[in-house]
């Protein structure tokens, strides 16, 4: 028995159609997904289904702030351009009256199954439990009348029902497993697994992994997959402690590389690390592409930050990262820009073999609101190589490589509107340690109206949002000791 769509869902869809034209376009993204109007956070239910990638997302259409969660919905055939679809889920049942929180999608016999967390207050205690909605066409969803399918009964003493969310359902050896975030009574993160043979009836299987006190007070949005011969668990820890250059945001993302013992349901972790060294990257989720590759997308924002589009009354907030292709190399998860984006590039400027010294080299009009930059620089004779992007008289986004320290830095302090957050200091500078490859620094930079993603030497990524006060397109290079730009090309992303 399935429950049909309701008035609450209808109301959301009517509101979006009526109001979407009123969104202020000033900071709207061009090729990164954002909702037609309103607030978004985590990507949900990311899946390739019947010829399209479907992306669902945590959604509150009525305000540019978080509110009772719906699941927004869009689809794409190339992961660059998105088509909005009607809202898929609204908080319209007693068991999800407090919101339809994050979750995942899986296909079975041509039907699309969404698993999400329903929030409900029972006897004054907030309960988070896992619910199911099913669709024949991938657009209209009916909630299962037996919801919730995983609740207090299945969780037992293995976690806290108040903090029990974000189910990711996967298949392993013909059985379904649901990986869910919860926490221990000592306030450490804990990922638990449930098992099912039919997606409707679930039983507790194991504690997959437990966090330490340093690793945050809760782990959100887990995702488990097998890649390049390793098992990978990614998740988003809240308040994980800083460790060197890692984990400086109030909430972070972490990849654990190791092996799952499917007999015991426990994971042995060989290495773990932060996934993105920028300021705005959270709750990533993955899916497989039709060729079996692993693709990831994340919310390109951070909790508890100032949000100019909200403060300015622009009626929207939040967007998604560029989808990224994943591989495991030397026990680290590495990310490449989604390969389909390259067929949307229209090349504009190109230069090669330019010496940069303490006399600056400037490229005028190099980066538009929707652009790509590829740069290869030989830093054999350099001490510090600096790139100032979006440079006006007063502002710029500064990227620096220090060859002695082997540290790359992204600095948005002097770019646009001031941004602050729950962190002790305004978090506008981040660094990552990264070696040169044969003395070379290789950058791929994706710039949209209000975001930048910097892929460094094919190994690390830094993602940041910004809100320019004045539009600027120049790029300036500067070097202490000589740097040699071997390749410089810019393109616009169409
Ligand atoms: C992560 C998160 C999830 C939760 C959702 C609520 O950003 O806190 O754990 O399901 O957002 O919107």
Structure token digits, residue 343 = 């067929």
Ligand 1 centroid–CA 349 distance in Å is 41
User: pLDDT tier at 1 (50, 70, 90 boundaries)?
Assistant: low
Average of per-residue pLDDT across 75-97: 97
**Contact 298 CB / ligand 1 (< 6 Å):** no
Residue 5's pLDDT is 63
Distance CA 255, CA 233 (A): 6
Instruction: Tell me which residues are annotated as active site.
Output: 42
Average of per-residue pLDDT across 238-264: 97
Residue having the nearest C-alpha atom to atom 8 of ligand 1: 220
**Contact 163 CB / ligand 1 (< 6 Å):** no
User: pLDDT tier at 106 (50, 70, 90 boundaries)?
Assistant: very high
**Contact 102 CB / ligand 1 (< 6 Å):** yes
Confirm if 209 and 233 have CB atoms less than 8 A apart.
yes
**Contact 283 CB / ligand 1 (< 6 Å):** yes
Strands (E), 173-243: 175-183, 189-196, 203-210, 218-227, 230-238
Average of per-residue pLDDT across 191-198: 98
* Residue 51 per-residue DSSP state: T
Distances in Å between the alpha carbon of 152 and those of 121, 127, 131, 182, 195?
13, 8, 12, 12, 15
Residue 489's pLDDT is 96
Ligand 1 centroid–CA 211 distance in Å is 18
Ligand 1 centroid–CA 201 distance in Å is 24
Residue 41's pLDDT is 98
For the cut 70, the answer to whether the pLDDT of residue 149 exceeds it is yes
Residue 118's pLDDT is 98
Average pLDDT taken over every residue of the chain: 97
Read off the pLDDT of residues 374-428 as tens digits, 9 standing for 90 and up.
999 999 999 999 999 999 989 999 999 999 999 999 999 999 999 999 998 889 9
Residue having the nearest C-alpha atom to atom 6 of ligand 1: 101
For the cut 80, the answer to whether the pLDDT of residue 290 exceeds it is yes
**Atom number in ligand 1 closest to CA 102:** 10
Distance CA 225, CA 172 (A): 10
**Contact 42 CB / ligand 1 (< 6 Å):** yes
**Contact 101 CB / ligand 1 (< 6 Å):** yes
**Atom number in ligand 1 closest to CA 181:** 9
């Amino acid at each position: 028995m399935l429950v049909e769509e309701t008035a609450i869902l209808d109301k959301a869809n009517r509101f979006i159609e009526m109001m979407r034209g009123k969104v202020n376009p000033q900071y709207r993204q061009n090729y990164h997904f954002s909702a037609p109007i309103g607030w978004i956070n985590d990507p949900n239910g990311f899946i390739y289904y019947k010829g399209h990638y479907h992306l669902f997302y945590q959604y509150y259409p009525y305000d540019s702030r978080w509110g009772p969660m719906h699941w927004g919905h869009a689809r794409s055939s190339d992961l660059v351009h998105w088509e909005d679809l009607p809202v898929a889920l609204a908080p319209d049942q007693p068991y999800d009256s407090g919101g339809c929180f994050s979750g995942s999608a899986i296909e079975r016999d041509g039907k699309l199954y969404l698993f999400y967390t329903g929030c409900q207050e029972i006897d004054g205690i907030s309960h988070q439990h896992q619910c199911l909605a099913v669709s024949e066409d991938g657009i209209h969803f009916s909630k299962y009348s037996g919801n919730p399918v995983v609740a207090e009964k299945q969780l037992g003493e293995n976690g806290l029902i108040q903090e029990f969310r974000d189910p990711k359902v996967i298949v392993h050896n013909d059985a379904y497993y649901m990986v869910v975030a919860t926490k221990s009574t000592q306030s450490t993160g804990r990922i638990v697994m449930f098992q099912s043979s039919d997606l409707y009836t679930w039983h507790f299987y194991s504690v997959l992994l437990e966090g330490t006190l340093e690793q945050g007070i809760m782990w959100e949005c887990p995702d488990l997959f097998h890649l390049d011969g390793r098992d990978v668990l990614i998740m988003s820890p809240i308040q994980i402690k800083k460790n060197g250059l890692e984990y400086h945001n109030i909430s972070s993302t972490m990849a654990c590389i190791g092996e799952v013992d499917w007999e015991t349901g426990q994971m042995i972790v060989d290495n773990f690390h932060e996934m993105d060294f920028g300021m705005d990257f959270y709750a990533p989720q993955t899916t497989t592409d039709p060729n079996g590759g692993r693709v990831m997308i994340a919310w390109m924002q951070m909790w508890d930050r100032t949000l100019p589009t909200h403060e300015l009354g622009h009626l929207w907030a939040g967007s998604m990262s560029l989808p990224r292709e994943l591989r495991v190399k030397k026990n680290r998860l590495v990310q490449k820009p989604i390969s389909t984006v390259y067929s949307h590039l229209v090349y504009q400027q190109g230069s090669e073999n330019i010496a940069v010294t303490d006399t600056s080299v400037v490229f005028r009009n190099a980066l538009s609101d929707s652009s790509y930059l590829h740069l290869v620089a030989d830093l054999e004779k350099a001490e510090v190589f600096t790139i100032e992007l979006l440079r006006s008289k007063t502002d710029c986004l500064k990227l620096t490589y220090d060859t002695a320290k082997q540290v790359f830095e992204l600095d948005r302090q002097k770019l646009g509107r001031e941004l602050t957050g729950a962190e002790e200091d305004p978090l506008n500078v981040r660094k990552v340690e990264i070696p040169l490859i044969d003395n070379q620094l290789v950058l791929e930079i994706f710039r949209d109206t209000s975001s930048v993603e910097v892929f460094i030497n094919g190994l690390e990524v830094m993602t940041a949002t910004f809100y320019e006060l004045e539009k600027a397109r120049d790029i300036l290079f500067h070097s202490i000791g000589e740097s040699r730009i071997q390749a410089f090309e810019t393109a616009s992303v169409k």
